[in-house]
Amino acid sequence: MFTWLRNRWQRTGMTAYLSHPDCLKHNMGVGHPECPERLTAIRDQLMAAQLFDFLDEVEAPEVTREQLARVHSPGYVDYLESCAPSVGTFRLDPDTAMSPGTLPAARRAAGAVVRAVDLVLGGAAPNAFCAVRPPGHHAESARSMGFCFFNNVAVGAAHALAQHRLERVAIVDFDVHHGNGTEEIFKDDPRVLMVSTFQHPFYPYSGDTPLGPNMCNVPLKAGSKGDAFRAAVEAHWLPALDAFRPQMIFVSAGFDAHREDDMGSLGLVEADYEWVTRQLAALAARHCQGRIVSVLEGGYELSALARSVVAHLRVLSEA
């Protein structure tokens, strides 16, 4: 089945949709917002919108220790492996817990982004979306937090730099929470430009003071809606990205800034996610042959999450 999907995808050149059943097995407990139903809601909505037929589903591989070591310390990886329970849950912090399915899911989530990079840079797909969990942008080089274990987008960006020898990659993060882990990993790395918007002050209570000159962080006040978000993108992100001329664009695609998502207090709607994706697609067409790898981060109100992903993927599938 996987070989057939891969060959079909290589022939058609459609947007690659990377996921794996293991990503459904990570479970932090009843009532936890970062739940397996997030992925099933996305898939169901893509089918209802008749968009799934325009995507090519690719099974995510497991990340290797070598790939993880580009952004995470070996001691940290060893620590996570030592904490993995065989039954029940092991709590790493008040928000973040491991179940027996956590490490397999986290390995597939990071591996999906590595595979997406290989496929897009190999020319077999114009772009890719990684429908994976757990999310990753809060995970620092040696610290898990905020529902995150491995920093998926950082693993993929580091792979593009090391394995494919790219000289410049950009990471775009529009989650309601600041991507502190991605910033900590890439601060002062001139090969990486990170641009982000996030609610502030808000968890993880960082980002208002950038850690390096390669960070373009735009805090938004609680209650900000699409007009403030779009103004930030036009005034800050786009000029920085155009000046940087990335050879590949990564997106930490968190949809919890949606007005229906009670994890934050911003007011974005599907039209805002469609708009920003169009801006990024146009920028990618100017600088990097359309190469975009988008990775799911937050988004916890299931209907709003699924509708927002459809808006995002509708643009990518047209690029």
* Residues recognised as catalytic: 138
Question: What is the C-alpha to C-alpha distance for residues 158 and 319, in angstroms, rounded to an integer?
Answer: 25
Question: What is the C-alpha to C-alpha distance for residues 183 and 65, in angstroms, rounded to an integer?
Answer: 21
